A and B are shown apart, each in its own frame.
Chain A
């Protein structure tokens, strides 16, 4: 019991310090939050122009909203973009990979060998703190944007079971995002050039997670491949759940697979950490 209490106290301390650290840089913070909404605007206008051009084709009903691409009409597309933003607010981990890689290369991880603090655990808590602070500020703009764009959600507010699924999917996407990026950071035990690798990874995520466009649009050979990768659970899956494109049994299975990926990546993470430390120790620190 006392072991747990002291552990919880430690977690709380890490959490608090992380929150304070984030709040110091006010200027950056407000700026960064604001910026997140910019690319969405372009997306909306781009999709509008695409659907509009399709509606103008001879033989089409010239009503933009009647046009569908793979089951998505313009409203769905915009709603999807909004939801993807929400999902990425949970699953993206800026600076995690490079942070881990940096502390490995600079030898700062030594302190985790000495102190009774688990590095991955404390990083996770820090990340939760950072995210919570982020939501604290971002919830205003997010709520505003979703409210202004409520007419794009043709299906209306999600039903309770769907909402529950969405929450699980978002939490899952956070954990999965953390585990995947942490794995990549730990590769620094073996490779020097992790920063470039992380950048390539970020680009791939943008594409493969459905951040760029709904994965349903992918042409034939690509979609099969993407279905077998974990990336879709970072953005596409939660959004599709919220849009009501994944329901019932599919939803349950989707969540099961997502959390299996979470467990898988977390185990990989642990394994890399342990192997990495052995390797690190082999060098004599």
Chain B
């Protein structure tokens, strides 16, 4: 076997010599870093993660079960709640069906985040801890992009379908409501989808900024726990906080500082119109704010990420 390899170089030597030898200036010639490159790399990530989850099928189904389990528990809880009350908050308009639109939207967003963002944020912390971030830093492509998308946990997507089902069901019920029916146009559905996207970007930014801090903090075991707690805040209609000094403080904090209250509230309000008929002024101003905040947060996360990288120590091998 050793001989085999030892003789190989001679055999194929000619072939290599015939190739153009890269010279000093050649490297600078390739500069096309269009969006196409990013798309191709992203597609490869999708491919690789699919191939991988096919390799662990039992695990895949168990994970599906666990995420669905959590979702069902949520539904049961609110079913119980709505057996005692008919709305969440006084005059907020979040009756059972409106709220189920909200709940379904929460599931959709959470599912997408847990499929695409969460695993990468966790992996990023791990890369820092083990020093494997080195390899991402070597690649001639945006480092933040490279660490943001390689892992996808497809089993978490199960809740996306449950969410769509719940939203669909609740919207149909609302449209069939005789006393105050909901009417939906294409623009409204489009806006709903658009603001879901904004919400995803906001959550992504929060996560990446948080994960970046593990460069400074050493290890960041609590990231997942923190995420779990954070989701507790965006999972409720924001009206519940708009009461008393503490409530307003919280509302202000989670609307303007860590703006996760906007994530579900804005799209859910747009679709369910809790204060029908039509979209009220508050919804519109919140939507405007969300747009602004999305851009700001994206910029901020990028800044934190870059700042953290300069402190990266590359844990020794």
Contacts and interface: CB of A to CB of B under 8 A. Distances in A.
Interface of A: 25, 27-28, 31-32, 35-36, 38-39, 41-42, 45-46, 48-57, 69, 94, 192-193, 196-197, 199-200, 203-204, 206-207, 212-213, 217-219
Given A28-B219, A28-B222, A203-B66, A52 B89 contact: yes
Contacts of A25: 218-219, 221
Given A45-B240, A45-B247, A50 B81 contact: yes
Contacts of A35: 222, 225-226, 229
Contact of B220 (A28, A54, A213): A28
Contacts of B226: 31, 35
Interface of B: 58-59, 62-63, 65-66, 69-70, 73, 76-77, 80-81, 83-92, 217-222, 225-226, 229-230, 232-233, 235-237, 239-241, 243, 247, 250
Contact of A48 (B86, B217, B240): B240
A21 to B, nearest CB: 13
Contact of B70 (A27, A46, A54, A203): A203
A38 B84 contact: no
A212 B73 contact: yes
Contacts of A193: 58-59, 62
19 contacts: A31-B226, A32-B222, A32-B225, A46-B236, A48-B240, A48-B243, A49-B88, A49-B240, A52-B243, A53-B90, A53-B92, A54-B85, A57-B86, A69-B84, A193-B58, A199-B66, A204-B69, A207-B76, A207-B77
Contact of B69 (A32, A49, A200, A213): A200
> Chain A contact residues: over half helix, strand or loop, or mixed?
helix
Contact of B250 (A41, A48, A51, A212): A41
Contact of A42 (B88, B90, B92, B232): B232
B73 A207 contact: yes
Q: Which of B229, B233, B237 has the most CB of A within 10 A?
A: B229
A27 B58 CA distance: 37
A200 B222 contact: no
Q: Which of B66, B73, B91 has the most CB of A within 10 A?
A: B66
Contacts of B76: 207
A51 B88 CA distance: 8
Contact of A196 (B63, B88, B92, B220): B63
Contacts of B236: 42, 45-46
Nearest to A200: B66
Contacts of A52: 89-90, 243
A56 B69 contact: no
Contacts of B250: 41, 45
Given A49-B237, A196-B63, 15 more contacts: A28-B221, A35-B222, A39-B232, A45-B241, A45-B243, A48-B240, A50-B81, A51-B85, A52-B90, A200-B66, A203-B70, A206-B73, A207-B73, A212-B77, A213-B77
